[in-house]
């Protein structure tokens, strides 16, 4: 890809060509102009790995731990290393741009997409995002921070206005983006679906042109979220450079006409085209050719080691009563739970991808023991039945099912197969399935496989479809999802609810399964399915169990063991793009299972996998709890490393775990109502609220235990200049490992403002706010000095809504240094701001 002289090329482009630069040509690519030396760019999801251009049968990739897990590492150098590996993965996929990281705030535990974000604190999210961006862009690949701004819930996300004070917008929701600009200069921003205070983000000139470009001085490219452009003139004038995906809905001929009538001035079109050309120039420097074949990076031991290390550093030890952890490898161990033999390694939506491999917790645990431990499921946790693919054998003898594609329906006397595909996974996003032999959007597919029952009882099947589908077992119709269809929320709200049917099975007998599918145009749902191309299909199935009987069986098994591991939590069905959770509770009857097993055996440890908090009514009854998030390819190995003490846990919670969802400050306002959501908690998000309101929590922000102990002492605070006329608060402490083994501690630096009664403004401010952090590794008995530096203006300021500027008020600011936001033994010092000052920019 050749270098581009931006201004020279801009002068050569016609008005029509300039407009054509400003939208995608398909789901993932921009338009090329070979005659001008302008290549096509390829964009790719996502925040925890690079999928490439394929939803259906995607090329294998490295799956990183989810965003909340990355935030839990509190380790900027590690995230920068992760970013570099993401950049390498993008190159293998022929992608110039990664659509991530996601740095929206986790207002509520119920956010369906909360697992993608780094945490509830803007400084943690901003510094973490900057590290990821630096790593990605060091490879020449460009990063896209998203979603700017206030895309903090999924409920009616395309039709909701975030009603938020300017102060909360600045201090909480825009701040992580501001820090990413300051510390990493991301190549691109993606606008949010929602609006802010009455104007959609993709056409909000105050946000895009005013704040981002003029005030922060950022010189990059702004793209819409997919189908998140809502206007032709307003979006172009506001500063939106690229409408995605293509073909465009609002640009193309519409924008050309509006430009010809001066609704969008020529210089505005030039500004948008210039931003695109500058961005293309940056991408060209990556060396990635246009329209490159999608390949996979060799799955090296080095990549596995990195993913495992990130996974381990993200795991948070929440409880370790009587030092039950680490567990003993020579003790009789029982594993229980629905998350044990399934690798729950990513959340749903844009974060999903086809991983090189995925290690289940059960396999990881088994690798630590002399022989595989006893196991029972205990209860189910699925929202929809587990995918059938891993449970069946294709007609050719391999795992999964065989899919055959036709132009003719099953009733046709003669059918010609146009394609045969081996499927390992029975969740099919057919939005990008292409077959040159298909003659119209209406086409058909038969999927076949079989399984031999390992039990005598009842087996349940299910279908979710965008299109129509029926499931047959041994030729008999078991699930009808074609005659009558009901609207569901799966596949971005384009598909049906899960329709189920069951059959009796006998141990040792083989059953042939066949699904007859017809493409999206056959759907009877009222919604628009056109954006999902060929449609979608999900085939599920599992043994039907009686919960009370299975819990009794699990308790009996647990009672006979020395130690018990319960693998519980959520999965991509519960936490996914497109909708929020309705409750903080684990899927029933999981709480009952944990309570019963803990009663049967006090040596019970619970491993929780979720991207956001869950309620734990059983926490007093269990001795050990670890929060393991969605851990990527190495999920099971990372969990086992921590459980058996091969690695000392060092993660800290990047968000507060409240006792109840009702305690959350956004509880009354976390939904769309009359086209708006009110940010009624203002700046008091997360721990800021719990501390100010003196509300008890289950586990505080920044909390995490270790298998060793640390002491923090010798606090020193000084004001220095960094040589660029920036005044810096330098915080230094001594950290000593006072326990029995090596470990890592995170030094967290919070700042408390001067007392409200003595301030000039008299505004309410949080008791303290995170302003910096650092992670340090220490051998047993080792002591190191740890330094954290913060700009005075960032450490002291609030947003002055009268002057519309940041204000650092004169006074004494207390510095609180500890190992969590709730550290009762934290050290305290102070620095002074001698005179009040105001500022803008970064």
Q: List, by residue number, the catalytic residues.
A: 225
Q: What is the DSSP string of 107-120?
A: -STT-TTGGGS--S
Phi/psi at 596 (nearest 5 deg)? Answer: -65, -45
| Strand ranges of the sheet holding 769-778, from the earlier edge strand across to the other edge | 769-778, 743-752, 811-818, 827-833
Output the six-digit token pair for 175.
Answer: 């701040």
Nearest to 65 by CA among 315, 339, 362: 315
Write the CA distances from 634 to 27, 264, 292, 565, integer angstroms: 30, 50, 29, 18
Greatest CA span in the chain, whole angstroms? Answer: 88
Is 706:740 a contact under the CB 8 Å cutoff? Answer: no
Could you count the other beta carbons within 10 Å of the beta carbon of residue 641? 23
Report, in this order, helix, strand and coil percent for the chain, each rounded to 5.
25, 30, 45
Dihedral angle computed from the Cα positions of residues 701, 706, 708 and 710, in that order, rounded to the nearest 10 degrees = -10
Helix or strand or coil: residue 690?
helix
| Residue 769 CB partners (closer than 8 Å, separation 6+) | 121, 123, 688, 750, 751
| Residue 408 CB partners (closer than 8 Å, separation 6+) | 414, 415, 416, 444
Helix or strand or coil: residue 285?
coil
Output the six-digit token pair for 232.
Answer: 């032709």
Q: What is the DSSP string of 51-109?
A: --S-STTPPPBPPPPPHHHHHHT--HHHHHHHHHHHHHHHHHTT-SEEE--B-----ST
Nearest to 706 by CA among 639, 625, 650: 650
Output the six-digit token pair for 97.
Answer: 């741009």
Helix or strand or coil: residue 367?
coil
Q: What is the DSSP string of 531-580?
A: GGTT-EEEEEEEE---HHHHHHHHHHHHHTSSEEEEEEE--TTTSBTTB-
Is 576:490 a contact under the CB 8 Å cutoff? Answer: no
Residue carrying structure tokens 């007392």: 755
| Residue 654 CB partners (closer than 8 Å, separation 6+) | 68, 71, 72, 74, 118, 119, 120, 121, 124, 701
């Amino acid at each position: 890809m050749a270098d581009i002289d931006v201004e020279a090329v801009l002068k050569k482009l016609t008005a029509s060509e300039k407009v054509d630069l400003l939208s995608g040509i398909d789901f993932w690519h921009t338009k090329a102009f070979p005659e001008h030396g302008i290549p096509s760019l390829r964009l790719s999801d996502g925040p925890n790995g690079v999928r490439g251009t394929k939803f259906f049968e995607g090329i294998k990739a490295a799956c990183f731990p989810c965003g909340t897990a990355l935030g839990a590492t509190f380790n900027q150098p590690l995230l920068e290393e992760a970013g570099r590996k993401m950049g390498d993965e993008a190159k293998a996929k022929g992608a110039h741009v990664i659509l991530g990281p996601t740095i929206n705030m986790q207002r509520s535990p119920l956010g369906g997409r909360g697992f993608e974000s780094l945490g509830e604190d803007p400084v943690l999210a901003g510094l973490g995002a900057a590290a990821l961006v630096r790593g990605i862009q060091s490879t020449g690949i460009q990063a896209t921070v998203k979603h700017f701004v206030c895309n903090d819930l999924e409920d009616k996300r395309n039709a909701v206005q975030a009603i938020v004070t300017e102060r909360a917008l600045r201090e909480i929701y825009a701040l992580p983006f501001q820090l990413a600009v300051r510390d990493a200069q991301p190549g691109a921003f993606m606008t949010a679906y929602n609006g802010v205070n009455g104007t959609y983000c993709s056409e909000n000139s105050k946000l895009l042109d005013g704040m981002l470009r003029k005030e922060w001085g950022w010189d990059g490219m702004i793209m819409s979220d997919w189908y998140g452009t809502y206007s032709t003139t307003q979006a172009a004038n506001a500063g939106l450079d690229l409408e995605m995906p293509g073909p465009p809905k609002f640009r193309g001929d519409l924008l050309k006409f509006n430009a010809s009538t001066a609704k969008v001035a020529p210089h505005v079109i030039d500004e948008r085209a210039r931003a695109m050309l500058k961005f293309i120039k940056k991408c060209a420097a990556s060396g990635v050719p246009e329209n490159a074949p999608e390949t996979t990076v060799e799955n090296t031991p080095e990549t596995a080691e990195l993913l495992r290390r990130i996974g381990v550093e993200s795991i948070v030890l929440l409880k370790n009563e009587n030092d039950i952890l680490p567990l003993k490898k020579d003790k009789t161990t029982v594993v229980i739970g629905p998350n044990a033999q399934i690798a729950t390694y990513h959340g749903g939506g844009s974060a999903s991808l086809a991983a090189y491999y995925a290690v289940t917790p059960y396999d990881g645990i088994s690798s630590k023991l002399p022989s595989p431990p006893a196991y029972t499921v205990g209860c189910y946790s699925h929202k929809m039945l587990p995918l059938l693919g891993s449970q069946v054998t294709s007609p050719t003898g391999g795992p999964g099912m065989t899919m055959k594609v036709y132009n003719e329906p099953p009733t046709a006397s003669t059918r010609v197969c146009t394609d045969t595909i081996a499927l390992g996974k029975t969740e099919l996003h057919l939005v990008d399935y292409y077959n040159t032999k298909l003659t119209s959007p209406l086409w058909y597919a038969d999927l076949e496989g079989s399984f031999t029952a390992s039990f005598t009882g009842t087996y349940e099947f299910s279908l979710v479809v965008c299109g129509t589908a029926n499931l047959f077992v041994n030729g008999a119709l078991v699930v009808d999802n074609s005659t009558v269809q009901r609207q569901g929320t799966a596949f971005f709200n384009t598909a049906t609810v899960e329709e189920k049917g069951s059959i009796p099975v006998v141990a040792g007998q083989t059953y042939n399964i066949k699904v007859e599918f017809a493409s999206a145009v056959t759907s009877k749902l009222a919604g628009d399915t056109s954006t999902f191309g060929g449609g979608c299909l999900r085939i599920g199935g599992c043994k039907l169990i009686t919960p009370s009987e299975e819990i009794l069986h699990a308790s009996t098994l647990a009672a006979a063991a020395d130690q018990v591991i319960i693998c519980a939590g959520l999965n991509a069905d519960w936490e996914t793009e497109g909708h929020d959770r309705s409750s903080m509770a684990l899927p029933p009857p999981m709480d009952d299972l944990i309570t019963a097993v803990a009663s049967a055996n006090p040596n019970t440890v619970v491993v929780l996998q979720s991207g956001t908090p869950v309620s734990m009514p059983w926490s007093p009854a269990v001795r050990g709890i670890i929060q393991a998030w969605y851990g990527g390819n190495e999920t099971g190995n990372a969990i086992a490393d921590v459980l058996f003490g091969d690695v000392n846990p060092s993660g800290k919670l990047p968000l507060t775990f409240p006792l109840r969802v009702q305690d959350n400050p956004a509880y009354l306002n976390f939904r769309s109502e009359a086209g708006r959501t009110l940010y009624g908690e203002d700046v008091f998000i997360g721990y800021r609220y719990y501390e100010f309101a003196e509300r008890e929590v289950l586990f505080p922000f920044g909390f995490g235990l270790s298998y060793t102990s640390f002491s923090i002492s010798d606090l020193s605070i000084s004001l220095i200049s960094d040589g660029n006329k920036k005044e810096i608060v330098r915080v230094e402490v001594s950290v000593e490992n006072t326990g029995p083994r090596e470990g890592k501690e995170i030094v967290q630096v919070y700042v408390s403002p001067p007392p409200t009664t003595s301030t000039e403004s008299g505004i309410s401010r949080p008791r303290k706010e995170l302003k910096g952090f650092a992670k340090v590794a220490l051998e047993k008995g080792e002591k190191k000095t740890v330094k954290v530096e913060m700009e005075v203006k960032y450490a002291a300021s609030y947003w002055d809504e009268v002057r519309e500027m940041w204000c650092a008020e004169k006074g004494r600011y207390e510095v609180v240094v500890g190992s969590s936001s709730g550290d009762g033994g934290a050290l305290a010092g102070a620095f002074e701001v001698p005179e009040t000052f105001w500022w803008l920019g970064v």
